[in-house]
Structure 1
Amino acid sequence: MIEQIPGLPAGALGFRASGQVTASDYSGVLVPDIEAAFAVNRKLRLLYQIGPDFTGFDAGAMWEDAQLGFRHFSGWDRVALVTDVQWLRVTAAAMGFAVPAEFKLFHNAQFDEAMAWIGEPRPAEDDGNK
């Protein structure tokens, strides 16, 4: 199952995966929300939490994820992946260089830190009024 995480700043979306994630979870929740956000934003930030009760992705969900990433390959500004699932952490660490965005990996215990990071302005966004 995938559900949206509320309370993120404008230009940022958050999703939490739990249990078994299917292609219909992507096509029914994640894809429409991301497509709608890209319709009004040139760049997006994404917080994606794979929760502690996550059991896996089916093959269709993995395909949907890959298609979505390629469709908006250069549209990501910042991506935070929050998970304790070891194979996902290893894969993300190994492939993070291929993500055309600022990418950071967090543990589930660091969820609040990931939320804060996804909303931080980039140095170029800083207006200098510190």
Structure 2
Amino acid sequence: MIQILDSEKEQVIAVKIEGNISKKDIQKIHPLIHNITSKGLKIRWYFELEDFTGYDLEGLLQDLKVDTAHLDDYGKMVMVGDKKWQELATEATDFFSDSEVRFFESDQKEEAIEWIKQP
């Protein structure tokens, strides 16, 4: 499930991810992406991972579709979590993306929020 958080910044999409991500979750984020790109801005992502277990099949396919369509629209990304595999996934995202991507431990949320807001 994806919960949209208040980001306080126009181009930041902040979400808390718990459990499994579904197609419906991705569909509720897509309009936020278009709202930012329609203003000519790059999207900055703040992902807060809490007991994140993955995607259902439809959710994965929808996420891949959206990411493929908007990859050039993504700017900085930050992932906040407490699992080693989440840190490794962040490193893989950084490797395969032109975006600047960083991982912060769960107890560093405030630092992560400040980092994503910086130009």
TM-score interval for Structure 1 and Structure 2 normalised by the shorter chain? 0.7 to 0.9
Report how many residues are paired: 119
Please state how far the C-alpha of 1:89 moved relative to its aligned partner.
2.4
Distance 2:104 2:59 in 1: 22
Name the TM-score, length of structure 1 as normaliser: 0.79
Distance 1:75 1:61 in 2: 20
Q: 1:11 aligned to 2:32?
A: no
Verify the 8 A CA contact 2:90 2:102 in the aligned structure 1.
no
What's the secondary structure of 1:40's corresponding residue? coil
Query: Identical aligned pairs, as a percentage?
Result: 24
Please state how far the C-alpha of 1:19 moved relative to its aligned partner.
2.4
Aligned to 2:20: 20
Please state how far the C-alpha of 1:117 moved relative to its aligned partner.
0.3
Larger radius of gyration: 1
Task: Give structure 2 stretches of 5+ with no counterpart.
Answer: none
Aligned to 1:88: 86
Name the TM-score, length of structure 2 as normaliser: 0.86
Please state how far the C-alpha of 1:7 moved relative to its aligned partner.
3.4
What pairs up with 1:1-130 in 2 under 5 angstroms? 1-27=1-27, 29-51=28-50, 53-121=51-119
Please state how far the C-alpha of 1:82 moved relative to its aligned partner.
1.4
What's the secondary structure of 1:8's corresponding residue? coil
Task: Give structure 1 stretches of 5+ with no counterpart.
Answer: 122-130
Verify the 8 A CA contact 2:15 2:46 in the aligned structure 1.
yes
Task: Assess, with a 3 A threshold, how the Cα gap between structure 1 residues 31 and 82 changes in structure 2: closer, same or farther.
Answer: same
